[in-house]
Amino acid sequence: MKKSIVWALGLVVAASLTVSKPCNAAFVIGGENGWQISTDGIVDVFATYNTTSPHPGGSHALSLLDNTGSDYNQRFGVDVGLLPSVVAFNIKAPTTNGIDSTVRIGIYPSLGNTGNASLAGSPGLSSSDRFSVGPNIDFREMFYTAKGAYGELLAGRALNLYQAKNILNDMTLLTAGTVGLRAHTVTLGHIGYGYLYTGFGPQFRYTTPDMAGVKVALAVGEPYDISGGDKTNSPRVEAEISYAKTYGSTSVQAWLSGLYQNATRSNAATTRPGASVDSIGGAYGLGVGIGGLNLLGSGYGGRGLGTVSVQDGTPKVAGLFGGSTDADGTGRLDWGFLLQATYQLTPSVKIGANYGQSRQEETELDTTTRTSAGAILVKRQESATVNAVYNLNKFTQFIAEYTYAQNTWHDSAKQHSNQFALGTMFYW
């Protein structure tokens, strides 16, 4: 059974990746009764070093960059890149009445000693202690698909639809990209710096058959907390229309995706109790490949989206970043884009460069609060990356990468970071 990098990420919609794919095979064991089990996965290890300027301090919201102090910070670390390591298992039932049914379980372990919060408070241990070897496994995927002439149905926990292709087509998906707070274990790629992290969530999804390169997908998923303490009594709805076609040596792909969710503020909220809160967004992308050259442009925009993951709600770490709404539950305007070019220099070497930024505009309340109380949000997060990828063979690759990242607050204060990464990835 052939497995692509898209399968390794748990998507069941076709996506044409612009990253190197040194291996696309999996182990398959078949039974006499038609059942099959296969496995695929990735092990990635990255050494990163960054030097980051001081945080502006005062009432400036904390940034994603790895420095909250008043002095320059230099940090070296060894962990995974944007994508954690992956170990996945796929179980395929016998084809019945023209229907192929498959179950996928995806396990995403990290490598570092940080992030093991289950050990915090234990005698002599903290969540960042080098002896912290508690569980750091993320069961992101648990779903089944049923595919036939009618299209495909997915049910379970999988990568969400909205902005999925934005992240899947980023060349830093399988590298490091922007290095944020390493307590998060993974790097950021361009999360918060050109697109938002769509996340994995429980859902029902239907995807049409391929219609001359066009597919349409509709997903109904578990709602998210948009403004903090909301009544999430209506589903999260996502949709996508995509196109992918090859014309000789030229490939073209394009997509449009959308998101809508409504929630109700708690009756105990200090302001606007019981009021309606909406999160609505659109995303897009266009990629063209001509021989060894691939060009990509993607972007997103909407209200109530946030600055890091889609529908940030109330930040999990107080003051870390601007949530999707202001204190009154009014959705902030969020938008961003990513521009990218990669070139296959030789059969084994690919080089690439991209630039992305994410912006959050203040609401009227944010502006008033900034001038009266000094609470200052980050306005723009931007980063540029250049890298070289060397494929030693069909299942091993090495990466060298440099990233420059900069954050700008609404009062024009800035913080910047120079970042270097060397890594390797093994696929099966």
Distance CA 407, CA 405 (A): 7
Q: What is the mean pLDDT of residues 2-23?
A: 36
Compute and round to an integer the Cα radius of gyration of the chain.
22
Distance CA 57, CA 400 (A): 33
Q: What is the mean pLDDT of residues 162-191?
A: 90
DSSP state of 332: P
Q: Which structural domain, as residue segments, surrounds residue 237?
A: 45-83+151-427
Say yes or no to pLDDT of 373 above 50: yes
> In 10 A of CB 119, how many CB atoms?
18
Is residue 68 one of the residues assigned to a domain? yes
Give how far Cα 210 sits from Cα of 36, 97, 194, 270, Å. Answer: 25, 20, 29, 50
Is residue 12 one of the residues assigned to a domain? no
Q: Give every CB contact of residue 32 below 8 A, 6+ residues apart in sequence.
A: none
Q: What SS3 state is found at 5? A: helix
| Structural tokens at position 120 | 């915090």
Is residue 139 one of the residues assigned to a domain? no
Distance CA 164, CA 240 (A): 10
Q: What is the pLDDT of residues 120-152, one digit of tens each?
A: 443 444 445 555 554 467 788 999 999 999 999
Q: What is the pLDDT of residues 202-261, one digit of tens each?
A: 999 999 999 999 999 999 999 988 887 788 889 999 999 999 999 999 999 999 999 999
Looking at per-residue pLDDT, the higher value among 71 and 30 belongs to 71
Is residue 18 one of the residues assigned to a domain? no
Looking at per-residue pLDDT, the higher value among 183 and 80 belongs to 80
Q: What is the pLDDT of residues 279-325, one digit of tens each?
A: 999 999 999 999 999 999 999 999 999 898 888 766 544 445 668 88
Sign of the dihedral through C-alpha 327, 331, 333, 334: positive
* CATH number of domain containing 401: 2.40.160
Would you list the DSSP string of 281-306? EEEEEEEEEETTEEEEEEEEEEES--
Burial class of 96 by CB neighbour count within 10 A (0 to 12, 13 to 18, 19+):
exposed
Q: What is the pLDDT of residues 392-415, one digit of tens each?
A: 999 999 999 999 999 999 999 999
Distance CA 311, CA 158 (A): 17
DSSP state of 410: T
pLDDT for 27: 66
Is residue 21 one of the residues assigned to a domain? no
pLDDT for 130: 53
Q: Do 277 and 306 meet the contact criterion of CB atoms below 8 Å apart?
A: no
Q: Do 185 and 57 meet the contact criterion of CB atoms below 8 Å apart?
A: no
pLDDT for 245: 96
| Number of alpha helices (DSSP H) and beta strands (DSSP E) in the chain | 3, 18
Q: What is the mean pLDDT of residues 179-192?
A: 82
Is residue 403 one of the residues assigned to a domain? yes
| Closest to 87 (Cα-Cα) out of 46, 35, 137 | 137
Q: Please give the tally of structural domains in the chain.
A: 1
Torsion of CA 203, 242, 388, 27, to 10 degrees: 50
Distance CA 272, CA 181 (A): 34
Say yes or no to pLDDT of 264 above 80: yes
Is residue 253 one of the residues assigned to a domain? yes
Amino acid at site 416: H
pLDDT for 58: 87
pLDDT more than 90, % of the chain: 62
Is residue 107 one of the residues assigned to a domain? no
Output the pTM of the full model: 0.88
Say yes or no to pLDDT of 361 above 50: yes
Looking at per-residue pLDDT, the higher value among 21 and 163 belongs to 163
pLDDT for 88: 94
Q: What stretches of 86-227 show up as alpha helix (H) in DSSP?
A: 164-168
Q: What SS3 state is found at 14? A: coil
Angle at 188 between CA 185 and CA 193, to 5 degrees: 155
